[in-house]
Structure 1
Amino acid sequence: MHATLLSVLNSLQQVIFEVTNCDTGEVQRIAGNSQWAFDLFPLLHQQDTIFIDDHTPFLQDFLIDAQQVWQGNRNNTLKSGFWTEVTDNQKELHLEATAIRHNDKNILLITSLAEEFKSKQNTLQSARELLLSNDRLIEQNEYLHSRLLTILKKPEQQGDILIALTKAIENAGFSVIITDSSLQTLIENSSTYSLFEQRRQALEHDEKPIDIIFNLMKSQLPEFDRIMNTKSGWDGELCWISPPSTLKWLKIALYPVKTELNEVNNWIIFTNDVTNIKHLVQKNEQLALQDMLTELPNRFSFWQKLERQTNEHKPFYLLYLDINNFRSHNEYYGHDDGDKLLIELSERITATLNNNDYLARIGGDEFAIILSDIENEHDCKKRLDKIFACTYKPFISTKGEPYSISVSVGAANYPKDANSVEELMKFVDLSAYSGKDNNNKNSIQFYSQSLQDASLHIIELEKELRDAIKYHQFELYLQPIVNLEQNSIYKAEALIRWNHPEKGLISPIQFIPEAEKSELINAIGHWVIKSACELVKQLNKHGYNIKISINLSPSQVIEENLFSFIHNCIKEYNIEPDLLEFEVTEGVLVNDYAIAEKLLSKIRAIGMSVSVDDFGTGYSSLAYLKRLPLDFVKIDQSFVKDIVVDDNDKAIVRAVIAMAHNLNLGVTAEGVETVEQLKFLKNNACNSVQGYLYSRPINFESFLKLIKEFY
């Protein structure tokens, strides 16, 4: 390598590697011998070929993203963005990586940005950038969070887990604490002791870091009780006065580690000291009170405004708004797109408000709104309609893809519901959480005492649902689906029932919505899939090859390992895949199109079929019918009910049947109860029907009898 070029690279604090194996992370140094590179990769002292591994986890993660560049057919580049590494000798490095594809060569360029970092710290722009990087701390936390979850959920001996956890967290540049379900610390890293200025051999009477954190949460978070009762995650900033009188600002992220039954096994707590950032912004009043991403007032500014508003003793409504499934959005589109969504949504909401209203961003995807001079729910709803309307227009991703969102809003009135800031915030938080709509629709929930009571009821219901799973209280009922051309039962829809030991038989409409909210729906869904496979096997033993159709909830569709679970069940019960069908709703197909398309393609690839349930009641978009891998459309019973007497329903059903057949899709009509309805459907080439005319949902033994009678 030419000496001049080498000198330039070193002065630019750059090291160049050729990537010799993308899959293993093997790279070979081409040029550059800056000291920071030897600190980051100690093996470079002895050899030029090294491996990028979990010793540098953020860089290892970037290599995965970079494969799209290196495995491409044209010259291209991809930048990692700024990140910080802490080396084995505790040096802090500020780095940026660039993946380069040039003339069939795969190049990794790593640059130290230490000087740029130092110079920018002394400017106002530095304050802005630090604030934005502070906003991204949660991104780093989520990365380590996923790594820790993988370890905690491995079926290893506890001792092995603790060793693995220690290795994973020790080099993190922020405090990491892992506790058991009762908040007793299992393990904490060195950064925890540095942050809280304690020694590992702390005296027994010293307050432990975990106690400090939770005491701060109890005293400063109105939503603390709700967070713990519902086993929710949380992230935000808290103020700690360290003895004797040092004030520190802590950015805290709290994550529950749950079993399939939604019981907490562990808590993971990340804590970052953001005091320096706070000191920087306090030099500029605007920055101190402003959210740097959206440029709205921040949480601190909002609390000041709310205090002033209550002191005026004039009625107003406080709204707490958050975006449904925002984390899933970030995981799919990326954090840059998430930021873009937050900015655009804040602009749209602002455009709907009056001059004396107030909007602030108080959390990651959470906004608070003060609607002034409103005294009753009717007027509040009229104002909310404008806010909801601004979400209906599709948002556009950075790649040009349109997508839709929905929001959940909690509302409380001053002074009717509460006359203190703390109670108002507590009540709107509870209302927003209780009002979340799992069908991805905008929802509003006003606070009431009955809401408090319902919240307690939900906690009790969740406990009963866990018992139902543990003690096998669920049962699958089957409703036959009849092929009209062959006049035979060729399929059956599986419908869950709960045999409660005290309340008797409970229909799914009474417990599935709460199962969705409590995150037990995936465990129940797994039970349904396994039970359906068992019923297929039993039907085979009786000589019947009847397909069973299973409903998938929105939460199941986005479940990461669902297809693997289905595939394993098919192998375990040794059944043919074409004897299973999965039903999804229109809302799932539209709101989670890309995820649904990936899952349904895998399902159909191994022989299972897919049906769109309740067609016509949702978005009814012809685009997804054409683009998605589907086999059947199910006409909702609301169109079948009056099909004999209502000309509009007749026209709709005829149109759906014709459209489906043109797309090579089969059609099933739900809710068929009369011979006249059946005759109309036969005359219009409907393929199959289900409904009370043939049978209600029945247990397996009764279903076997029905088959014998039918034939």
Structure 2
Amino acid sequence: MVDKAIERCLALSLAARTQQGEALAATLAELDAALAEVQARSVPDNVPAAPPEAVLTLDLAGYVTSWNAAAETLFGYTATEVLGQNILFLHADDDEDDHIADLFMAEGDNKTVVAEVRRRRKNGDVVWVKLAMMLLKDESGDPVGMHASMTQVHEPLSEVDKISLHARIIEDSDQGVLITDASERIVSINSAFTRITGYTPSESLGRTPDLLRSGVHDAEFRAKVRAAMSGAGPWRGEIVGRRKNGELFPQSVTISAVRDEDGNISHTFSLFSDISVHKDAEARMQRMANYDTLTGLPNQCLLSQLMGQALTEARRSHEHGALLSVEIGRLGAISDTLGHDVGNEVLQAVGKQFRGVLREADVLARLDGNRFAIALLHIEKREHAAIVAQKLAASVAAPIELAQHTLQVRVHTGIAVYPEDGTDTATLIRHADVATSKAVHGEVEFLFYSEEMNQRAKEHLRIESELRQALVNKELQLYYQPKVSLRSGRIVGAEALLRWKHPVRGMVSPGVFIPVAEETGLILELGNWVLEEACRQVRAWQDDNLIMTPIAVNLSARQFDARLPERMADVMRRHGVLPEQLMLEITESLLVGGADNVISIMNELVAMGLALALDDFGTGYSSLAYLKKFPISTLKIDRSFVIGLPYEENDCAIARAIVTMAQQLRQEIVAEGVETAEQMSFLRELGCDQLQGYLFSPPVPADDFAQMLREGKRLAFSSR
């Protein structure tokens, strides 16, 4: 029909102007009718028409002055019945509409006030309507009346409908809902509970919420949750729950109690959501913020956080630490020549190499470009940072093997020590970078920010280097310090002591080179050399028909491992030495590493016939409760307790206690560092068995000790 009308319009446009008027009007009317028909067909039949708006006017006293047909339909009153009446006849009995007048005052004369109110129909029904009111004014702007329009709104839900609606909302909610009774038995769950936890109603109803308990929360946390269930007030927080399949998952929870009319708790409800996705996203964001995307290492932000905590702790405990700034040399040339992808692979490989030589507690971070940082959060000595720098350089000394390339890099390390070089992270990084820059220009592996530390580190490295050469060049030798019986005055043994005769500096004190050997791992080589040399010497004396007393050999904690008995058996077999010709001396610090492991190794050694002595007793941290479990045959009183005898009251008390305890444990007692006759007399009266010290003899070369044995040298007192 529309198409025909359009065709006619087009035809008429070509006709004579004299026939246009009437015919055109008729055609346009026909077109309007056709369009109206099309529009009517396009509107669905089930779409309700908008409700009519009831409109009325009032005078300033509230009397009705006009009333339209929609108002008649809404309320059931005709205009004749309403005109002249006060509008109050529509109000419900319990309505108070004073607030509408207040709204007029608040909004001003030119505003429309809208409110939802209750109104009564002619048949007595009360309905809710949306009321819009505004003032009517004359030409002078003075109020002359009020204009009101009303449309019906839905009534509030009945209690039955409300309960039904709430039940549907709970069941369809994405949040898990768990309701327990006063006995904490589950009485209701929703479908989301099953979806999140895996427990069906048949598996959960009648049980307690403990079926979701993960066991990761402490007693204090559980007490807060139980307080909420006991009516202390709602609790909101995050809990780790356990699904039916055993998987742990984080959840956001609200727990609250429900009370009956008498105020007693009748039920408890929990609303919870699975926030695993949010936690994963949070973890990803945290990783992006704190970790380098290329190497996976901490970035400068996380490094600063960890350093800040360490610096706070260091100030409190007066400990030392260091920050190393490491620059990777030749990386720019590699990237320019082979591409940035290859350069990135080199950085990743270097990061792995560095991580492999560091302690677990050390923090390895990538700062930017070709720079790494290492935070040594706790070091015993400042010089130890130089050892770490050497290890870093050694870790990349060999060429790096990539898929298609074999590449060589160098590292230059700058070291800042705290608290001397700075007490905040930014300062330490800046000072370490300064030292790195100097190391690069000086073509050296590492430099300290402090010149004094550079000198100390150089001395440390010199001793290490020369000590390695001393092993090769046979500059080491054993001296022997006799142990003398306090009963007979005769030599009953000796302790083998390591000495280093430097070709230029002469005899080097063990106090200088032994700590370096411990720190660098050289102590293992030195310890093995001492065992070999002591056994060789014992065999040589035996071949010379010298009546040999037991020789004590000191063992480092690093030597004391599960293979020690095997190594001892091998060295004694090769040199033909009997177990009773040796004694092994260990220190208390060895016992701190784990008593059970140490005891098993000790028992193996004793089963082989070797005697064990505990050296420097009283200076370490071993528990006396453990001491009775160790198969120790000899206790050695440390020289620090002997030096004050017999005049220092505390030293006397300690020496007396050690002797008494050893006697109860049936152990021999040896006093070290005895230098005076007064010390000897006091120890002899206590019941000490042996002494070792300069009063009788300092440590002497093997030939001198053999001569003492041949001559039968004795202490200058008569045996009792």
TM-score range, shorter chain: 0.3 to 0.5
Of the two, which has the highest radius of gyration? 2
TM-score (norm 1): 0.43
TM-score (norm 2): 0.43
